[in-house]
Amino acid sequence: MNPHNMIDEHPVAYTGRSDAGSDAAATHPPAPNILIVDDTPANLMLLVEMLSRRGYRTQTMVSGKQALQAARAAAPDLILLDITMPEMTGYEVCGILKADAALKDIPVIFISALSQTSDKLHAFRAGGVDYVTKPFQFEEVYARVETHLRIRSLQRQLAAQNENLERMVAERTRDLSNAYARMRELGRLKNDFLSMISHEIRTPANGFLGVGTLILDLCPASEERSQYAGILKQSGLRLRNLIEDAGMISDMENLTMKTMAAISFPELLAEVSAALPDLRISMAQSPGLELFPLNGYHPLLMRAMESVILLATCFSRDKHRVKLTAKVEESVLRVHIELDALSLSSEQAAGFFGLESQVRSVSVAQSLGLAPVVAYQILSALGGACNWSKRRVMPAAWS
């Protein structure tokens, strides 16, 4: 056996058994490999003999240069490193190891006759994980070797788990990205369909309404004719509003990209009141409300607020009066509209503003058509929200 380059020729499994066969090798991981660096052959032989008995594989080098070459050729699981060596000290060897990305995580235990506190501090600053003074007791060496190999094993497991987690996150992110792309495509197709329907239905709708008006004009004047004329007029208005709403929903993204203009909520409410002369709209407001700007495409703000107020009348006993409370809280405008005839359950309210909502189409707000959906989407597109609350008021909020 050459003490200057000793390798245990019969490594065994980590359990310490010396008769491990091929079956054991297949079920147990290879024994940890320990690189021992010392320029004193007697120390190398002693450590090799002690560690081999415990089932470790060992490799020895008598200089720092040889140790670095060996570590780069096949990284060991742990290094036992002497400090005082010719040409290159253990401190220098450890510093080079820690500067190498491929070797920096190998635990280094210094074994040296130097016992001053300053020597130990120097070793730890160089990157060592532990320090054993000579003459050493094998049980101490073994305990520290065992501890740091266990720590290294746990670090590797953690790194593997983190790598696996990163892979899973990457896969999940990719799946979510693909799902989002599909949703965007489905949304685009739905908007294109709404736009097409909105455009194509205008001509036949105008034809039906026109023919209906001509037929009524041919009928002699009577109370029944006046009743039918009123129904036709109301139905025509609702149909045209429905067509306009479908077109607006399909083009919502483009509409919200138009020029933004700032307006205060009191100014917006005054314009809405003028557009709805049959309603008496009153508001209790907090100080500073005039100074809070609403930024958005003005026609959209008007349309949203008009629809919200008309929706409120559908769930109020007094169909001609609407009461609002408006205040700014933490840079958010909160508008509450009092309702005293809200007949929706929590489940019904949750899906009320959905485009396909069956609840809305059979509720007292059915005459508004898609107007509530339009208002909801406008507020959402402008960074706000519109929903029902348990206090039987309908809050809207803009940030």
Residue 2 falls within a domain, yes or no? Answer: no
Question: Based on the domain organization, do 27 and 134 belong to the same domain?
Answer: yes
Range of the domain at 374: 256-398
Question: Based on the domain organization, do 151 and 202 belong to the same domain?
Answer: no
Question: Based on the domain organization, do 264 and 365 belong to the same domain?
Answer: yes
Residue 177 falls within a domain, yes or no? Answer: no
pTM: 0.46
Rounded to whole angstroms, how far apart are CA atoms 271 and 215? 38
R_g of the chain computed on alpha carbons: 41
Rounded to whole angstroms, how far apart are CA atoms 245 and 83? 82
Domain total of the chain: 3
Residue 187 falls within a domain, yes or no? Answer: yes
Residue 171 falls within a domain, yes or no? Answer: no
Residue 17 falls within a domain, yes or no? Answer: no
Residue 98 falls within a domain, yes or no? Answer: yes
Question: Based on the domain organization, do 215 and 110 belong to the same domain?
Answer: no
Last residue of a domain, one of 164, 191, 221: 164
pLDDT in tens, the chain (399 residues): 333 333 333 332 233 333 444 444 445 678 999 999 999 999 999 999 999 999 999 999 999 999 999 999 999 999 999 999 988 999 999 999 999 999 999 999 999 988 899 999 999 999 999 999 988 888 899 999 999 999 999 988 998 999 899 999 988 888 888 888 887 776 677 666 766 666 667 777 777 778 888 888 888 888 888 888 888 877 777 777 777 767 666 666 665 556 667 888 888 889 999 999 999 998 887 887 888 888 777 888 888 888 899 899 988 989 899 998 888 888 888 888 888 888 888 888 888 888 778 888 788 888 888 888 888 888 887 778 887 865 444 555 544
Question: Based on the domain organization, do 377 and 308 belong to the same domain?
Answer: yes
Counted residue by residue, the chain has a size of 399
Rounded to whole angstroms, how far apart are CA atoms 394 and 387? 6
Residue 38 falls within a domain, yes or no? Answer: yes
Question: Based on the domain organization, do 244 and 290 belong to the same domain?
Answer: no
Question: Based on the domain organization, do 115 and 189 belong to the same domain?
Answer: no
Rounded to whole angstroms, how far apart are CA atoms 89 and 108? 14
Question: Based on the domain organization, do 349 and 369 belong to the same domain?
Answer: yes
Please answer whether residues 74 and 120 qualify as being in contact, where contact means their C-beta atoms are separated by less than 8 angstroms: no
Write down the residue that tokens 């958010």 correspond to.
Answer: 332
Residue 5 falls within a domain, yes or no? Answer: no
